[in-house]
Structure 1
Amino acid sequence: MATRETVCRHHRIRMFVLIWGILLSSGLTQKPSVMIPPLTEGQPTTLTCTAPGLCSGSDPKFTWTWRGAGEKDSQITGNITALKTEDLTAVTQRHSSTLTFNPSAEHHNNNVTCEVSFKNNITAEETVTLNVTYLKKLVITGVTTVKDGDDLNLTCSVESFPPSVITWTKHGSIRNLTKETKIILDNNTGTATLTIRNVTVDYSGLYVCKAKLQIPTLSTHAEVNVTFLPRIFSTSGCVVQSEVLTCVCISEGFPLPTIKWPLLDAHTEYSVTTNFSNHAVNLSITVTLKDRNYTTVECISSNDIGEVKENLNVTRKVLKQYADQHGPCEVLLWIGVAAVSLIVNVICIILMMFLWHSRKKVKPNQEDRTYMSIKKTEVSSDYDVIAQPLN
């Protein structure tokens, strides 16, 4: 006679066979469940695959595979672990497997498959697509050196998921580029094109492209140079002091211009001084003229864009030279002496003229006529010569 313990054991066996049959038959239609947390490039993550239903008996086998775009399935041999979770019944457990890896941009849009194999060649699988958040390097393309009056076109592009928000700014400028330029943003391709029509030298500078993806923000820049014809500043000119000619020619352009003086071809003794500042060059010459006399001197400035010429007027400064040699006090002293001398001479001339006119009007009195006598010293038919006697 069967004991109660034997009956219970047989009952559990029948229940096991019944449940196993149900699970095997349903395993053909049920799929494992794959849990995927948010994936970010560079941050380790873990995928979890849980076998369908409650299993008993031997453990199922888990296989992880993934497939990239246009590739075949490849088995993952990374950090894979298998877990058992005891269920409420005494004969069943829930089986799962985890896959831990470091996501990258190359994993984005890849398919990952979890396959669960049971006895009797019964399998079930689930395939999921990975969405990895990533942001690659920003790249600026386009010609950064343009001529004055031409158009500037720069394209900033970045590969990311999800698509990044791209903005253009000009470093050190308070002006809003969107008011003066045309910016085309294509979220599908992750590009933003900056277009500026009819650029001038004011548009030279540093242009910054920024791509924002959730928290991380990347930026890159491009140095834009606007090339233009040299222009000679109005402050250029020449000065002659004594026999020394000094000329200064200041020119600005990009690329940096050079300056030539045709005047120097006729001279062998001269000195040249050159200074540079940003896109400007300041070149001065000093020449001894000797017997030469110039009213204008030609300055020629040129770069890769072209050449300009300017005739600089020559200014003569004598007093300034004397002041430089003797000092302003001595010059003022000599000016004062000359002015006083002129005034004294004018006064003397006026006084002499006054006395001369006054003497012509004076008549001798009676006493003077008493002692006056006239004596002819020589008789001539043409003229008489008179003289006052010495006695």
Structure 2
Amino acid sequence: MPNDRFDALRTIVQQMPKAELHIHIEGSLEPELIFALAQRNGVSLPYESVAQLRQAYDFADLQSFLDIYYAGASVLREERDFYDMTMAYLRRAHADNVRHAEIFFDPQTHTARGVPMAAVVGGIFRACQDGPISASLIMCFLRHLSEEEAIATLEEALPFRDKIIGVGLDSSERGHPPEKFMRVFRRCKELGFHLVAHAGEEGPPAYIETALDLLEVERIDHGVRCLEDPRLTERLARERIALTVCPLSNVKLRVFPDMAAHNLPALLAAGLRVTINSDDPAYFGGYLNDNFEAAFAALPLTLAHAEALARNSFGAAFLGAAAKRAHLEEVDAFFSKASHTPTADRTHV
């Protein structure tokens, strides 16, 4: 394909306004910041250098990733650490033309180490208030822990209810089906939280269905295995359930052998409300634009797909009607102009 066509579509996906709905803030901790915070807080790391830590990012599966993820999070001790981490992500997202982010955080990773909930929520929330883009917080429960621990975490977080818009479910899927957390999600719904859950990445399509039916979630995080169940796929399309897909993460964790094998085009062709996100960008090889560029370079995706993905990101966001409308109008204006770019035709780059 001609380079000018590639460059035109790449520029469009870089510059288009977009929302990010699947970002674990602890997973945005770059090795340089990990070392800086370790030094500031007197934390000893099992790595001698930034380069050695980066080498450790060559993990083989979700569990080996989680092991190093939790080790990196150990440097977060004070409210200002959470502020600095979040602000670093928000600035990077702003550079990628992200207009709005819904940020996952894992309080249990920190409170188990004696870090006060106030420091965790306070630092992240304050950065969201000071940052260059709109951002809100979704508190995730670690599914490898018990539901009783999740309920205790919820109670501990309730004094900060006004700073948290939703709850989610993350960590390792295998052996931890959504129904394990029915009671805590029922309580969260009563409290008025938005509800999301990781399902259908390393776990089977059945986990997507139980997350919808038993947890009553509004979005599915990942969800790429839904295509294994045609009936479920049709339901997701019919009910307009958003999937927060993370391409680079899926490849890094061996869900797909390489980007060319990713099922993103098939998900879109099935009429699913797909969004692209970065998941844990410091660990999985890139932030939001990196995910868009990698997907569009390897897969038969077009200008029309780019527009659909941008619109989906705002349509699936937990925003008020006026804010959502304003963002979608910006998307419309952007693509109205982009569609008249001579080399930005509607073919694959």
TM-score class, shorter: under 0.3
Structure showing the higher helix proportion among its residues: 2
